[in-house]
Amino acid sequence: MAKLLVLVLALNVLACGSGSHSRDALNSLDMSGLEKIESSYSYKSLKILDLDQMTDILREKANEYKTKNRIQALKEGVLIAYSRPDEDVTLEKVISIVKSNLEDIGEWESCARQIVVQSINTLKNEQASPVEQVTATVVLENTLSEFKPAFVKQYQSGGFETAIVEMIAQADIKLSSKVESEKRLNQMRAGGSPSQIAHKMIDNKNKKLKEIEESQKKK
């Protein structure tokens, strides 16, 4: 089922067309054969941690990579960072601890893609608990927020971030009543599902591109 979902997502995003970079990114969307990125943290356990505590966790993951050459530790660090609700904008202050190492070895995009696919599959899995699904929602919301600046710059050119935004939109994620209840119980802000947020980003992009096109016609 998970492989089928990934295949459908890949085909749907490809149909949207986001430039050659996006098409290249889609060629490796199938996660089969890759080690699952694991984390013992949920959004509930992470939301109470402050900047110093998050920094310590990610530094521990980075140190594990440096001492044991364990790339998976860096990916786990990314998943942990993206699983924390980011109302206080801590993510941008700590993510470079693990992201910079992944970029150096050419593993950042594949890692980001994998945590997105894993999160989508968790939200599509009816057997997943509300806490697991809310954590997956947080991962996708943080991804959209972090990728938005690059996505805006790619309005006309497309790129990796554009492909990821389109993939989340095409996933057509609908939050169950249990997930909505879990979010309300923990006083989390309501803002629609990750797919709805991604669709709004794409709608804004299309509106801007139309304005540019009309402006050019008047010249």
Q: Give the pLDDT of residue 27.
A: 37
The pLDDT assigned to 188 comes to 82
- Is 137's pLDDT higher than 90? yes
pLDDT of 65 strictly over 80 = yes
Q: What share of the chain is helix, strand, coil (3-state, %, to 5)?
A: 70, 0, 30
43, 84 in Cβ contact below 8 A? yes
Say how far apart CA 136 and CA 106 lie, in whole Å: 24
Lowest model confidence (mean pLDDT) among 93-107, 119-133, 186-200: 186-200
Residue type, 90: T
- At residue 178, the pLDDT reads 93
On the question of pLDDT at 186 being above 50, the answer is yes
Nearest of 141, 185, 187, 189 to residue 165 by alpha carbon: 141
pLDDT at 205: 95
Distance between CA 198 and CA 192 in Å, rounded? 10
The pLDDT-based confidence of 105 (bands split at 50, 70, 90) is: very high
Q: Find how far residue 147's CA is from the centre of its chain.
A: 8
Q: Per-residue confidence at 218, pLDDT binned at 50, 70, 90?
A: confident
Residue 191 or residue 158, greater confidence: 158
Note whether 136 and 122 are within 8 A (CB). yes
Instruction: Tell me the pTM.
Output: 0.86
Domain ranges within the chain, ordered by starting residue: 2-218
Q: What is the pLDDT of residues 33-62, one digit of tens each?
A: 789 999 999 999 999 999 999 999 999 999
Residue 161: name the closest of 191, 197, 198, 133 by CA.
198
Mean pLDDT of 15-23: 42
What is the pLDDT, as a whole number, of residue 131? 96
**Between 9 and 215, residue with greater pLDDT:** 215
